[in-house]
Amino acid sequence: MTNILAPGAVERHLRARRDTGRGLLMPYVTGGIAPGWTRYLAAFAEAGADAIEVGLPFSDPTLDGVTIQQASEMALARGAGTRQILADLAEVLDLGVPLVASTYYNLVLHDGPEAFCAALRRAGVSGLIVPDLPVHEADELTGVAAAAGVDLALLASPATPRQRLAEISRRSRGFVYAVSLMGTTGERAALAASAAELTARIRRATDRPVLLGFGISTPDQAREAGRHADGVVVGAAVMRRVLDGAGPDDLRAFLATLRRALDQECDAPR
């Protein structure tokens, strides 16, 4: 089994699972959203998640749609902050899958990149997503994260030019986060048409795992995304259920439907 806390663990873990033909599943939860919120993490792992994204709530989440904005506001109203969320994570038993924190660069700068990445590692987090950090400004955090053993995953969108896409693909660690459309996070009725072209462009630039996010809400969408990307990120669909009162068992059942859809796509004849 991959040591999920070793440097470069996210990428090794995802590559190993992908290379068996498995479609990758990374669900998201906003840290501190409810009392006992870390129980969701165990439910995610039991449902077949390959990595888990934990959002560190921020007061101005510019790339997030209404659902995750509401989740962030609720967590902040409960007094959830970065230190408390990481303290909660530090008490979580080994889930067998890596944890990937996501937040905005303002929170990274608040304590400084070195202290921030060191705190992630102490909490058992081995990956990081900073959606508002462009690749041409990522030098400092890229180096600091690598030195701390944290895989910093970069984002690419349908509007990313060819040369920048190549740089993102080269410098990203863990995986490349493919943003399926130009817009914010949120549930949508169908997978964006731009998703297939974007993932194909990334795959021509790198063998690193490609996870597709923004708008993946149903088993059918997960199955379709699995035809193009190595896996999916599912955030708003999870958090809407949490906001509606879903508990860990409810989310385990929902994610199990996505797990089955990805497995069915991987097993389908080509």
Q: Which residues are catalytic?
A: 53, 64
For residues 266 and 226, is the Cβ–Cβ distance under 8 A? yes
Round to whole Å and give the CA distance between 90 and 92: 6
Around 248, how many Cα atoms within 13 Å sit in the side-chain half-sphere? Answer: 13
| Residue 188, CA distances (Å) to 194, 224, 234, 236, 261 in order | 14, 14, 12, 10, 17
151-153 β-sheet, strand order: 151-153, 127-129, 99-102, 52-55, 24-30, 231-234, 210-213, 176-179, 155-156
Round to whole Å and give the CA distance between 88 and 83: 9
